[in-house]
Chain A
Amino acid sequence: MTIEAHASGPHPNPPPPDGGGGLSNLPPPKVGEGGAQPKAGRKGAQLGNVLKQRVLPVAVVTIIILAAWYAGAIWLNSPQAAEALTRAGKPWGTMDLIAHTFTMKRPVLPTPDQIVVDLWNSLTGYAPTSPRNLLFHAGVTAQAALTGLAMGVVLGVALAAGIVYVRTLEYSLLPWIIASQTIPILAIAPMIIVILGNIGLTGLLPKAVICMYLCFFPITVGMVKGLRAADPLWLDLMRTYSAGGLATFLKLRIPASLPFLFASLKVSVAISVVGAIVGELPAGAQAGLGARLLSGSYYGQTVQIWSALVMASLLSVVLIAVIRGVEVAVVGPIIGRGSAAR
């Protein structure tokens, strides 16, 4: 579902006219992004431009968000903090209150530095195999997510090949595949776990099935486009080589579809992580980032919830980066950023 959201992302150019200034002055052809480089090729100027146009806005917005976060921590934590300070019996002022809101053990909203410290302690304080190390939980979740992704790729590519080659499948099955995505699939997660548990499947596989169910769709849709993306001229060329259906599929259609496959994979892996986390919620799982979220919410360990959340985000970002790396290695750096999928 998020293919479009993802793909429509990279449009950082704000519309040139009337940036902030209303209509008062005609916009001089404001050479937005690549502009301000009268003599192109000067690397320093370009770098400065990149810093100014890309890094600075992100930094400023991030700082604003962080400032709002600390302010929110003061606002949300102060009632409890005030109570705690009063109970301590010592006289206290505003600064004491603020300091206390930033250092509470079970704050309503932990501050970013608390989360980072908790994350750091967990990552460095224990062996990676210890259940107190978040890497262990991230590993459990990643295992389910990647297994599910692999199953989803197999299913998705098989469905796409069927849809591309069999016209009846295209008109009978494809509408149902699309309709299946408008239903809240994650709601079925507990059900799948219970059903598979009944026939003796527990642990990794039920979670992987949920992930598979979530991530085959972007792959099917992407690969249907991708398998049809081979240039008709190349298809004719294959015909002049007297290549059969299988050879055309393996040597032309599959390679031509790779950019689409990778664009879909990047979307799918993010969904797959979500699926694995939600799959860990209902089963009372002992390990995994979802289990950390659940136990954190049971025992009111807000810092634990937040650090699990940050870890989950890091996990998806790392997995996407890995897929991007494979894409650059396989397809080459020119095509990418999901732009090929449009």
Chain B
Amino acid sequence: MSGNPYQTSPYRTSLRTAADWGLVTLALLTAAALTQPIGIKDGAILSWTADPIALLFLVGSAFSVVGGRTAPTPAKGAWVELGGAAMAWLLPFHLLNEGVDLSRGWGLWLYLIVATVMLWRVLGVLSAVPGWRRSLLVPGLFGLGLLLGWEVLVRGFQIPSVLLPPPSAIAASLVKHAPVLWDDFRQTVLTSVVRGYVMGCGAGFAMAILADRVPFLARGLLPLGNLASAVPVIGIAPIMVMWFGFDWQSKAAVIVVMTFFPMLVNTLAGLQTSERIQMDLMRSYAAGYGTTLVKLRLPNALPFLFNGLKINSTLALIGAIVAEFFGTPVVGMGFRISTEVARMNLDIVWATIVVAAVTGSVFYGGLALLERATTAWHPSMRRR
């Protein structure tokens, strides 16, 4: 960003022009905020002047915008303005600690809108230039902003936790129910999902190799595979629970059925990506079917294989959790969600959902990393 003389900065051109409408909006909003109370404490209306700390925060934010504009580079300016926005988001926590009722503190909410606009401006500057700031920091700050907004809105307007608990309550419940959540995780993920996933993907892969050797089979199976992608396969869950009982076998069976066709279709498509000239080279080396498969066709098929594996990672978790809605031993993430929802213990349900979300992301992310490690040479991985 800085230090590159050829990089004309959008910050310089857009924010430093004479009429900076973003800045005008900020100034107007701040002025409006100053006229409104920031909350109600002990039945009395609390104004900005009554709480010196609040006023200090507001002044700090205002200075950060000015400071950002006078900073030597737009990136440094963005950091200063980010500091001002962060101050704004800390103020409601200070007021909540003091026992202030924020639900009618319109001055505070206007101030937070100002902070949101500031954050937006910062994100705009940061996402102008490629690099780690754009690919990691921007989504990170955006996510953090969402979490803070969720927390402040829920606690400020005192939304009942049955509707939506604040993130801090979910985190507390994660810690509090950790042993239960670990047991559920072990039952659902480590037992059902892993076994079903390995069996389903393995079966799809094996069938694809077989269909590759017997083209007749491939022509028969592919239309069925396309049909299966349109059909709500998850509906077999009650049948599998009837056949295989409540334990992991029925969940694994659902996962096998759900993951089989995506793996089959993707493997078959991948095996066809090797070019004729490459096949001819292998033939000129007198390589047999197996050698050609292992040394040429499977490596070429890797992007497709990983595509199937990634699709299946999500399907497998969904399959296991939904199958547990139909019956399970008294442990498991799907069981926990369905029973605790019925008993209105929503904090543990949210905690379970967090576990499921993290599991899904880690599963998918791990596969993506593995893909990058094993197919770094493939044209699809080249930087555009």
A277 neighbours in B (Cβ, 8 Å):
232, 234-235
User: Of all chain B residues, which has the CB nearest A76?
Assistant: B243
CA distance A240 to B229 in the complex (A): 45
A4 neighbours in B (Cβ, 8 Å):
266, 307, 311
B221 at the interface (CB under 8 A from A): yes
Pairwise interchain contact B232-A316, C-beta atoms closer than 8 A: yes
A187 at the interface (CB under 8 A from B): yes
CA distance A199 to B229 in the complex (A): 35
Pairwise interchain contact A199-B163, C-beta atoms closer than 8 A: yes
Pairwise interchain contact B142-A184, C-beta atoms closer than 8 A: no
Measured CB to CB, the residues of B under 8 A from A are 120, 123-124, 127-128, 134-135, 138-139, 141-143, 146, 162-164, 211-227, 229-232, 234-236, 238-239, 241-243, 261-262, 265-266, 268-269, 271-272, 274, 276, 279, 283, 288-289, 304, 307-308, 311, 313-315, 317-318, 321-322, 325-327, 333-334, 337-338, 341, 344, 346, 349-350, 352-353, 356-357, 360-361, 363-365
User: Known interface pairs A15-B212, A168-B123. Does A182 touch B268 (Cβ–Cβ under 8 Å)?
Assistant: no
User: Of all chain A residues, which has the CB nearest B269?
Assistant: A8
15 further A-B contacts with Cβ under 8 Å, apart from A9-B225, A108-B243, A191-B337, are: A5-B307, A5-B311, A8-B269, A15-B271, A23-B283, A182-B363, A182-B364, A186-B318, A187-B334, A188-B353, A198-B162, A198-B163, A273-B232, A306-B239, A316-B232
A11 CB contact (under 8 Å) in B211, B269, B327, B333: B269
User: Known interface pairs A281-B325, A294-B238. Does A191 touch B349 (Cβ–Cβ under 8 Å)?
Assistant: yes
Measured CB to CB, the residues of A under 8 A from B are 1-2, 4-6, 8-20, 22-23, 26, 53-54, 57-62, 76, 108-109, 167-168, 170-173, 175-176, 179, 181-188, 190-191, 194-195, 198-199, 270, 273-274, 277-278, 281-282, 289, 293-294, 296-297, 300, 302, 305-306, 308-309, 312-313, 316-317, 320
CA distance A1 to B162 in the complex (A): 31
Within the complex, the shortest CB–CB distance from A74 to chain B, in Å, comes to 15
Pairwise interchain contact A313-B231, C-beta atoms closer than 8 A: yes
Closest 4 CB pairs of A and B: A61-B220, A14-B215, A297-B238, A57-B220
* 12 sample A-B contacts, Cβ–Cβ < 8 Å, listed by A number: A2-B229, A11-B269, A15-B271, A15-B272, A186-B321, A190-B325, A191-B353, A194-B344, A270-B232, A297-B239, A305-B235, A316-B230
Instruction: Identify which of B235, B276, B311, B337 gathers the most chain A CB atoms within 10 Å of its CB.
Output: B235
CA distance A194 to B321 in the complex (A): 17
CA distance A1 to B317 in the complex (A): 13
Pairwise interchain contact A57-B216, C-beta atoms closer than 8 A: yes
